[in-house]
Structure 1
Amino acid sequence: MQPSTNASLEAGSNTDISSKKIEAGMATPQTIDVSNEAQVTESEPSAPVPLLSDARLYIIGLGIWIALFLAAFETTVVATSLVDITSEFQDFNRASWIVVVYLLTYNGFLLLSSKLCDILGIKSMFLGAIFIFGVFSIACGAAQNMTQLIIFRAFQGIGGGGIYCISFILMLSIITKEKLGTFSGGISSVFAIASICGPLLGGVITEKSTWRWIFYLNGPGVVVAFAILYFAIPDINQVKMNRQTLSRIDFGGGFLSVAWSILLVYALQEGGAEYPWSHSVILGTLISGIVGLFIFAGYEWYIAKKSSVIEPIFPLRLLKSPAFTYLVLTTFCIGVPIYVTIIVIPQRYQIVNGVSPIRSGVLLLPMLVVSPVMSLIPGLALKTYWRYVPYGFAVGALLSVAGSAGLGVLGYSDKIEAKTYGFLVLLGAGMGLVMPIGVMLVKFICDPKDEAVALGAQNMTRVLGGLVGLAIGTAILHQKVEHGLPGVLSPEQLHALLKSPQVLATLRPDQLIAVKKVYAASYDLQFNMATGFAALGTVFSILTTYYILQVMKTIDAEDFFSTLGLKKGVDQVKTESEKKAEDA
C-alpha cells in the first residue's frame, strides 16, 4: 500500500506546483500531464533506494570523482598541446577538430545516455561509458595520423559524455538530502580542478615528454574508477535485456540527434578552410544539417504522438515553455565565448606572444580560478536568498559580454598586457554565474519527470554553441591568413604555416612580425564574434529571468524545495511509514 500512498502524495504536490506554473505562464496545460505521471507511479513504482553505509557512499563518490575528472580533464587538456600534435602530423589545418570532434560526440550522446539509464539501468550504462572512454583514450595515444586521432577522439567523446550525465543521475539516486551538500561540493570541485589542471598538465606533458601521454595517462585512472564502481555501486534500476526493453529505445531519435549536429558543424568548420563556402561539399552538409534538425524535431513529435512504447529522446513539449526556450537559447549563446576563450587564448599566447605551452596554461588561471569560485555563490545563496538567484543569470551574461569584448580589442603586442587578465577574470566570473544558475532554473521551469532530459538538453546546447563558435573562429582565422599574408610569405611558406605554426621559427624578423599581427587581428575578430553571441545571450537571459520571476511570485520556499528532485533514503521512508501507521 505504501507505493500507492506515496504516488498520491506526489501527484497532489505536483498538481499544485504545476497549476501555479500554468497560472504564471511558465507552462501550458499541454506541457504538464500530472494525471498520467501519477498513473505511471502507481502502476510502476520505482524500486526503493538501497540503504548504503557512509563508507560505501564515499567510496562510490571517489569512483564518480575519478571518472568525472578524467572526462572533464579531456575537454581542456589538449588546448595547450594542439601545436605539437598538429606539427607531428603536419596538419594544423584540422587542429580544432581534435577538440571539436570530442565535444561533438560528448555533446551528441548526452540525451541518449540519460534516456538509456532509464531503460537499461544506471550501473551498466555508467560502467559501459567508462569502458568506452578508457579504450579509446589508449587508441588516441597510439594514433598514427590525424584522421585516426580524430576518429578515436570521437569515440572517446561518446564515453566522456556518458560519464558526465550519468554521474549526476547516479549521485541523485543514492544520496539523501543530508549528504547533498557534501557530494555537490565534491562534484563541483571536479570541474574546478580539471579546468585548472587540464591546460597546465597538457603543457607540462607536451614540453617534457610527448603529447601521447595526455591520453595514455587515462588508462590507470579508468581501471581504478571501473574497479571501485563495479564492486561498490548497488544494482539500481537494473533490467533484463530483452526485446521489450530494446523496443523502448528511440534509436531513430538518437541517430538523428547526432547526425544533424555533425553535418552542421562540419560545414562551419571546413567552410573557408578546406573548401570555399560555395563548394558543393560545404553547401550539401550545411543544408543537410539544417534539414536534419527539422527531421529530428518532426520525428520526435511523431514518436510522442503515435508510439506508446518508444520513449522520445527529447520531448518537444518542453519548448512550449517560453522560459525554457529562452534558457536554452541563452545557454547556446554563452557557450560560444566559453569555448572560444579556452581554445583561442592559449594559441594566442603561444603564437602572438611567443610563450611556452606550460606558461600559456598558467596564464589561463585568472579565468579558471574565478569561475569555480563564483559558481559557489548561487549555491550558498539558494537556501536563504533563493528568490534573488535568477538575477545572477542576467548579471553573469553581462559579465561575459564585458570580458569577451575586452579580449576582442587587445591588438598586437609582444608582451601580454595586464588588462588581458582583467578581461579573463570578468569572463570567468560570468561563466561561474551563468552555468550553475542555469541548472537551478530548470527546477523552476520543468516538471520533475522532465528535469533530467531538460538538463541534458541544456548541456547539449552549451557545447553545441561552443562548437559553432570554434567552427566560425577557424573560418575567420583561415580567411585572415589567406588574405593577409600572400604578399609576405611565399605560397610554400603560407601552406606550411597553415599546416604547423612551428614554421614561425624559420621566418625572418619582418615576416614574423607581419604574421603575428595577422594572427592577432584574427583572434580579435574571433572574440568580436563571441561578443556578439554573448550580447544576444544577455537579451535571452533577461527574458528568461523575467519569466522565472513570474512563477516565483506564485510559489513559496516549501513548494520550491519540495521539487528539488532529491531521493529519500530508506531510513526516511521507514520513519514516515511508521508515523503513518501510528496515526492510523
Structure 2
Amino acid sequence: MVVQASNLALRTSENETDDVIYGADQTQMAKASFPKSNGEDNDSQENILYLQGIRFWMVSFLNGTMLFLVQTEISIVTTSLVAITRDLGGFDTASWVLSSYLLGYVGVVVIVSKFSDIFGRKPVFVICIFAFTVFSGGCAAARSMNQLIILRAFQGVGGGGSYALSTIMIIEIVPPHKYGKQVAYTGIAIVLAMVLGPIIGGAISSNTTWRWIFLFNVPIGALGLILALAGIPNRFPHHGQPDTAEKRTKSLTRLDLPGCVLLLLATMSFTAAFQEADSQFPWKSAYVIVLLIASVLLWLVLLIWERHVTLASKIREAVLPWRFLASRAMVGIYMSIVLLGGPLTVAAFQLPQRFQLINGLSSLDAGVRLVPFGGAVPVGTITSANVAGKLRVPAIYITIAGALLQVVGFALLGTLQVSLEIPPPLKSVTMLWD
C-alpha cells in the first residue's frame, strides 16, 4: 500500500487522472507511466500555483486524514462483524457489509476524478467528504442488516471519491521534485489504516457498542470539511487561470458514462453471485448461474465498448483504456492483482471471524492477532519497492517471489484443524505475506 501512494508521482498532467487512479489502486505490482489521453489542457500544468504556507499544511493534513479514514473503513469491520450480527442478526449476509462498501468505492473512483477535472477539485472533494460523513452516521444508526448494507454502499461512494481526490491532490500541491517526500509522508496514513483498522474495530466492539466504528468518522469528517473549504483554493489546481463555461461544457463530453455503468454492473453481478452462492442459493441455482452469465456478458460488452471508445473517439476518455489491455505488462499486473489480492482480502475477512467464533476470543484479541498479517503487507511492499529501485531487480521476479510466499502461507493455513485452541504455527504463518 505504500507503493500505492508512490505511484502517484507518475502523474504529470490533469488529463492523466485515469492513469493515476488505476495506478494508485493497482500499484502493489509495478510502476508504469502511460501516454496522455487528451492534449487540450497540456499546457495548464505549467501555470499551476502550488500551495504554500498554512494552506499547504491544511491540505496535506486533509489528504492524510481522509486516506486514513476511508482505508480504515475497509478493515475496521472485519473484527466487528460478530458484534454487529449479534445485535442486528443476519450473519449469513454479514459479508455484504464489507462488499457493499467496496462496490460503492470502486464504482465511483474513476468517474469522480473525471468530474473533478471538469468542475474543480474543491467542490467535488467537499461533496465526497460530506457523503462519507453523513452515511457514516447513517450506518451507526442502522436498525437492520439490510439498512446497514445499503448505507455502507453509499458510505463507500463517499469514501471512493475521497480516496480518488486525496491521491490526485497529493502530487498537485507540490512541484515535481517534492513528489517523493510528499507521497512518503502521506503513505504513512495508508499503512496505519491497514495495521490499526482491525485493532480499532476490535477495541470498540469489545468495550462499547459497535456503532462507534462508524460514529467516530463523523467529527473527523466534519473537520475534513472545514479543512477542504478553508484550505483548497477555488478552482484548484487551475485557480490562477481564467475560467470559461465553454471549456467545462466541452469537458463533459470526455466522460465515459456508459463505461462506468458497465463496469459497475459487471462487478456487482459477479460479486452478488459469489456472495450468495452456497449460502442463500446453491451453486446450481438459476440465481447464481444467471448472475455469473450476466457478469461474463457485461465484461465482454465493456471490453468491446472500451476498445471502441479508445480507437474511435478523440474526445471521450475510456474508463478502461484499451492501451492497458493491449499491454502485456498491464494485463499481467491486473491478473496478479486479482489472483494475489483476492485471497489476501478473503483471509483478512475470515481470520478475525475464526478467532472469535471458533477460538472464543474477543474482538480486540482478534484484532491484535491480525497485526502480523496486516503489518507484514506494508513491510513487504516497502521492501519490494526498495529492492526493485536500489538493487534493480526486475519486478517480475519480485512478483513471483511474493506469490510463492503467499502460496506457502495459504497452504500452511489450509492444514489447520478446527480447534478451540489457537495452534502456535498460526502466529508465524500470518507473517508470510508480501
What is the TM-score with the length of structure 2 in the denominator?
0.85
- Among 240, 247, 271, the residue aligned to 2:253: 247
Could you tell me how far 1:136 is from its partner in structure 2?
0.9
What does the per-residue CA deviation read over 1:289-311, in whole Å, with 9 as the maximum and x for residues that have no partner? 11111112222223334433322
The correspondence for 1:269, drawn from 271, 275, 279, is 275
Alignment of 1:65-464 (within 5 A): 65-234=64-233, 235-237=236-238, 243-381=249-387, 383-388=389-394, 390-427=396-433, 430=434
**Alignment partners' CA distance in 1, 2:62 and 2:205:** 28
Give the conservation status (yes or no) of the 8 Å contact 2:79–2:353: yes
Contact 2:50 2:175 in 1 (8 A): no
Contact 1:119-1:249 at 8 Å conserved across structures: no
Tell me which amino acid in the other structure corresponds to 2:91: F
Counterpart Cα distance in 2 of 1:56 and 1:342: 37
Q: Which runs of 5+ in 2 are unaligned?
A: 1-11, 13-32
Shift of 1:365: 1.2
Instruction: Return the alpha-carbon distance in structure 2 between the equivalents of residues 314 and 336 of structure 1.
Output: 20
Which structure: larger Rg?
Answer: 1
Q: CA deviation at 1:245?
A: 3.5
Q: Residues of 2 paired with 1:405 and 1:237: CA distance? A: 52
Q: Shift in Å at residue 33 of structure 1? A: 7.1
Task: Give the CA deviation at 1:268.
Answer: 1.2
Letter in 1 for 2:189: V
Cα distance in structure 2, aligned partners of 1:85 and 1:41: 49
Query: Residues 70 and 218 of structure 1 are in contact (CA less than 8 Å); yes or no, is this contact kept in structure 2?
Result: yes
Q: Equivalent residue of 2:416, what SS? A: coil
Pairwise CA RMSD: 2.4
Deviations 1:74-128 (A, max 9, x none): 0011111111211222211101010111112212322223333333333332222
Gap change, CA 1:317 and 1:424, over 3 Å in 2: same
Measure, in 1, the Cα distance between the counterparts of 2:138 and 2:84: 15
Describe the shift of the 1:120–1:300 C-alpha distance in structure 2 as closer, same or farther (beyond 3 A).
farther
CA drift at 1:413: 2.4
**1:308 match: secondary structure:** coil
Q: How far apart, CA to CA, are the structure 2 residues paired with 1:354 and 1:375?
A: 32
Aligned partner letter, 1:347: Q
Tell me which amino acid in the other structure corresponds to 2:183.
S
Higher helix share: 1
Please list, as runs of the form range in 1=range in 2, the aligned pairs for 1:464-475 lying within 5 A after superposition. none
1:478-523: CA deviation from partner (whole Å, max 9, x where unpaired): xxxxxxxxxxxxxxxxxxxxxxxxxxxxxxxxxxxxxxxxxxxxxx
The number of aligned residues is 396
For residue 236 of structure 1, what is the amino acid of its counterpart? P
**What CA distance in whole angstroms lies between the structure 1 residues aligned with 2:413 and 2:244?**
53
Query: Residues 32 and 405 (structure 1 numbering): CA distance in 2 closer, same or farther, change over 3 Å?
Result: closer
Contact preservation (8 Å) 1:47, 1:237: no
Aligned-pair distance for 1:313?
Answer: 1.3
Greater mean deviation of Cα atoms: 380-389 or 68-77? 380-389
- Say if 1:237 and 1:405 are closer, same or farther in 2 by CA, change over 3 A: farther
Task: Check the 8 A contact 1:118/1:237 in 2, yes or no.
Answer: no
In 2, the alpha carbon distance for the partners of 1:363 and 1:398 equals 23
**C-alpha distance in structure 1 between counterparts of 2:123 and 2:101, whole Å:** 23
What amino acid sits opposite 1:263 in the alignment? S
- Give 1:73's aligned amino acid: T
Superposed CA deviations along residues 168-198 of structure 1, whole A, max 9, x for unmatched, are 2111112234433332222221122112221
Tell me the alpha carbon deviations over residues 209-230 of structure 1, each in whole angstroms, 9 at most, x when there is no partner. Answer: 1111111110011111121122
Q: Which amino acid aligns with 1:67?
A: M
Identical pairs, percent: 31
Residues 206-259 of structure 1 deviation map (CA, whole Å, 9 limit, x = unaligned): 122111111111001111112112221232147666543433222111111111
Q: In the alignment, residue 294 of structure 2 is paired with which amino acid?
A: S
Moved more, 388-397 or 66-75: 388-397
> How far did residue 67 of structure 1 move?
0.9
Structure 1 residue ranges without an equivalent (≥5) = 1-9, 11-30, 431-584
SS at match of 2:432: helix
Taking the aligned partners of 1:331 and 1:116, their CA distance within structure 2 comes to 27
For the Cα contact (< 8 Å) 1:115–1:313, is it kept in 2?
no
Q: Distance in 1 between matches of 2:166 and 2:385?
A: 19
Tell me the TM-score normalized by structure 1.
Answer: 0.64
Give CA-to-partner distance per residue, 1:236-286, whole Å, 9 cap, x none.
147666543433222111111111110111011112211222332222222
8 Å contact kept, 1:120–1:245: no
